[in-house]
Amino acid sequence: MKLSSFGEKFTSKSGILSLMDDLGNALASGEEMIMMGGGNPAHIPEVEEAFKTRLQHILDNHSEFVRLIGTYDAPQGEKEFIKYLVKLLNNRFGWGLTEKNIALTNGSQNAFFMLFNLFGGHYKDGTHRQIQLPLAPEYIGYADAGLSDDFFSATLPEIERLENNLFKYRVDFSQLKVGQQTGAICVSRPTNPTGNVITDEELHKLDVIAQQQQIPLIIDGAYGQPFPNLLFTPATPLWNSNTILCLSLSKLGLPALRTGIVIANEEVIQAVSSANAILSLSPNSAGSMLTLDMIKDGSILSLSDNLIRPYYKERALRAVDYLRKKLSGYNFHIHKPEGAMFLWLWFEGLPISSLELYERLKNRGVLVVSGHYFFPGIDDAWQHSHECIRVTYTRSPEDVAKGLDIIAEEVKKAYRLG
């Protein structure tokens, strides 16, 4: 079978395909596997009960049930959801949004595919522009979203070493190169995979640079404000007409419903809506319908602030303390957990690569993600990128402890044997 360049690109090996294959195969195999690799949110009983109650209300109301399963939305997305989300965001942040500033997509991955290729790649004037990632490592799902080669450029971070085995990545503005070759700047906040939250000052500087270059600043807020608000450190949200803010319902606990939210100026929203129509006719209604009442009455905010965020923060701190005890005396570091649902572990001077460590852990029944996948646009020769792994702590405390025990055993063995 002969494939086009597009076909070859999207059937070749990639980090996100490897991750999702591992997750799916592990779940289907029936084998005991501790899933500490994916970004599947935790099953929080109180949160699931809230969604269950709303779903039952829809099932009991015929007209809403028909809206859920039997009616196409407009390419922009479910109109009532957008209307009330505008009100919620304006009340919370005073952004002055209108209903022309929001579009829905079939998940954030779908949104970033459209946005990246709207601003990156080949232009009619013969130029080629890249998406600039100012702080690698970045989300594994970005790496293969571009339709042309040499799609991303990225900047090595400054590494700030902190006490108690912690460290933090910071944007190295002295090395950041943004110019005619740049189509857009993109940063996630909090960052998947590291749990890093770039500071208000860093975000403001990126905003100024983007406006000076007349290119958009794309902020991936899938884990951020106002929902699910997985932020464990103070951070001020940012939006203006030059910013494209992307939110998601997945990390609330609805990953299967694939609902992404794009907040941008009217021109960008029209472009996303047009792409929606071409790629999938319209976004699905499930996520917007299921959360509509929570958006209307603002309870999505209290759900995030009072249930979801404390749950993850407690789990993160517990996992950090556990690892400190298990790897005491070894040359390991944990990125300061400031948000999201992952620990980013750096084993400095590890004699084996993170990919080899991943394979050894997989053979022991623990799935993590090798850190080398998270550096699109960075020279593969950078040793640091092969010394890190991403670990999620959303499983039960017993599973997480068992998984961390095995990780510690394999890391110690690797250091000892060289």
How far apart (Å, rounded) are the C-alpha atoms in residues 47 and 86?
A: 23
On whether both 347 and 235 belong to a single domain, the answer is no
Distance, CA of 124 to CA of 135 (rounded, Å): 29
Q: What is the CATH number of the domain that holds 17?
A: 3.90.1150.10
Amino acid 7: pLDDT = 76
- The CATH number covering residue 213 comes to 3.40.640.10
User: Residues 400, 382: one domain?
Assistant: yes
Q: Does residue 410 fall inside a structural domain?
A: yes
Q: Give tens-digit pLDDT for 78-87.
A: 999 999 999 9
How many domains does the chain fold into?
2
Per-residue pLDDT of 79-136, as tens digits, reads: 999 999 999 999 999 999 999 999 999 999 999 999 999 999 999 999 999 999 999 9
103 and 42 fall within a common domain: no
Last residue of a domain, one of 273, 297, 321: 297
Residues 220 and 271 in one domain: yes
Residue 92's domain spans which residues? Answer: 72-297
Mean model confidence pLDDT for the chain:
93
- Mean pLDDT within 7-13: 74
Q: How far apart are CA 23 and CA 38, in angstroms?
A: 7
Annotate 132-149 with b (16+ C-beta within 10 A) or e (fewer): bbbbbbbbbbbbbbbeee
Report if residue 356 sits inside a domain: yes
Nearest CA-CA partner of 397 in 33, 34, 30, 26: 34
Which residue intervals of 61-78 are DSSP H helices?
A: 62-69
* Domain final residue pick, 275, 297, 319: 297
Q: What is the model's pLDDT at position 296? A: 97
pLDDT digits (tens, 9 = 90+) for 246-267: 999 999 999 999 999 999 999 9
| pTM of this structure | 0.93
Q: Do 328 and 399 reside in the same domain of the chain? A: yes
Q: Are 145 and 261 members of one domain?
A: yes
CA-to-CA distance for 99 and 132, rounded, in angstroms? Answer: 29
Residue type present at position 5? S
Query: Quick one: tokens of 196?
Result: 């890093």
What one-letter code names the amino acid at 78?
E
Is residue 283 located within the same domain as residue 375?
no
